[in-house]
Amino acid sequence: MADRNIRRKPLPSTAQAPPPHALPPNWSADLTAQFRRVLSTRRMNELSKRPGSQRRSSSRVPTEYFVESRQPPQLPPRHGYDASTQSPQSPQIPSREPPSVPSAPQLLSPPLAPPPAYSSLRNIPIAPTPPTDSKSLRFRGMLLSLSNTPCKWENPGLLDEALGAIPLQRIYEEAQEEADLFMAEAASMGTSMKPAWGYQDCVIRALMKWFKRDFFEWVNNPRCTVCRTPTVACGMAAPLPDEQARGANRVELYQCANQHCLSYERFPRYNDAFVLLQTRRGRVRWVWNAEDHVWTEVYSVHRKRWVHVDCCEEQWDVPLLYTQGWNKKLSYCIAFSADGCCDVTRRYVRNPTEHALTRGRCPEGVLMHIVREIKDMRRRDMDKKERFRLNAEDMREDAELRKNIIEALAYSISRILPGGDGGTGSRPDPDAIKAAEGRQSGATEWVRARGEGGRNQNQRAGPRDPRLP
């Protein structure tokens, strides 16, 4: 009963626990960052004990990594008392300091090597870059000038004169006969088979044969107009005013081989299609090649791709004629048309290590910019539907060119794998080699001087070309 009369003395009002203090707004983020740094440090230390080339080995590399970190901010007490009345037993938040990390003097390994420079990286995607240096600007000016050539051939008067010189009825009949053969061949192989070439392609093939066999005459060394004796090349001469007015910028000079004649013959290099239709002699093709050889390409609606056409060689769809057939090295192959421009080097050079020359006229990104500039200029005034169609053709062509390189690379890899012949190089094209055997353009001396003697002739040649690897 006495205990009931005992009254407990109330605590003074100053001893009441105050409300908890607010935490700093960035305390949680700092603590999380500190924890991640410690965890990353531990993982790096564990990985450094295993060599990179022998992950499964038990060897250890005495390399330590550390990350300098700041101390976490001090936490205010959640349930602290006033300093004058705080009891020694008042609850406190335990310290959450991260585990200690080794300091710099404790490291046993030398400083880490700096990371490699970006200049050492290869196969980085190329981005179009405007030309800035004088060399690239000169190359841009030359390509812009070359891109104007196909536009000159869109002259209605020129087209009428060309149609007047072509035996259209003969061309159409030969094309129809060949198209029927392709259709019969496809039908014999099944109803789902598609003819190899369409009627439009057969028209171009018939036109190419007529051009090579009946219309044009390939001139290596013109005959002397006085005694009809073969001539010998003497070099180049300046064009006469009449020749220059008709579009000849260069004139080849030849001398009669007859000792009793020794007359000179001039052969102007005309580029004007009007003049070429009248003279019916010359070298007309239009995929520009930096090594002074040009040809044409025709878009096949049937195949939905561009087809290589060399009228002077009477070759259809043999793009490897120059590299594998003539053993020629190429650098730039740029195709120009009235509605665009494209770098088609990958169509004619499948193995860069064997058949490519250095492309040093401008960086690749600059060339990409110039090609796009010409393409945009040609399509600027076209309607949206036409531009969309041409852009779709460009995408298909780019996919085709990429496929060419991938197939050539896969073939090279298959040769060095077990079971291969151990050689290098691209897959040989029998059509290109066969076409090179029947080459008619270029005299023997002229061909050898240009390094286009073909594989067999090149092997029988005397001194080795220093440009070859």
pLDDT digits (tens, 9 = 90+) for 94-122: 445 555 544 444 444 455 555 555 455 55
Residues near 309 by beta carbon (within 8 Å), at least 6 away in sequence: 204, 208, 295, 296, 297, 298, 315, 316, 317
For the ranges 138-147, 223-232, 253-262, 447-456, which has the lowest average pLDDT?
447-456
Residue 458: burial class (beta carbons within 10 Å; 0-12, 13-18, 19+) = middle
Statement: residue 466 has pLDDT above 50: no
Helix (H) or strand (E) holding 306: strand 305-310
pLDDT digits (tens, 9 = 90+) for 128-176: 999 999 999 999 999 999 999 888 887 888 778 888 888 989 999 999 9
The highest-level CATH class for domain 127-153+276-416+431-436 is alpha beta
- pLDDT tier, 364 (very low <50, low <70, confident <90, very high otherwise): very high
So what's the pLDDT on residue 449?
A: 54
Cα–Cα distance, 284 to 274 (Å, whole number):
12
Q: Average per-residue pLDDT in the chain?
A: 75
So what's the pLDDT on residue 283?
A: 36
DSSP 352-416: HHHHB----SS-HHHHHHHHHHHHHHHTTTS-HHHHHHHHHHHHHHHHHHHHHHHHHHHHHHHHH
Statement: residue 378 has pLDDT above 80: yes
Q: What are the backbone angles phi and psi of residue 436, rounded to the nearest 5°?
A: -70, -30
Cα–Cα distance, 424 to 462 (Å, whole number):
24
So what's the pLDDT on residue 134?
A: 95
Domain boundaries, the chain: 127-153+276-416+431-436, 167-216, 218-274
Cα–Cα distance, 155 to 174 (Å, whole number):
27
Cα–Cα distance, 207 to 210 (Å, whole number):
5
Statement: residue 444 has pLDDT above 60: no
Instruction: Collect contacts of 446-449 with beta carbons under 8 A, ≥24 apart.
Output: 446/220, 446/233, 447/326
Helix (H) or strand (E) holding 267: strand 264-268
Do the Cβ atoms of 179 and 161 come closer than 8 Å? no
Q: What is the CATH number of domain 218-274?
A: 2.20.25.10
According to DSSP, the residues that pair with 307 across neighbouring strands are 298
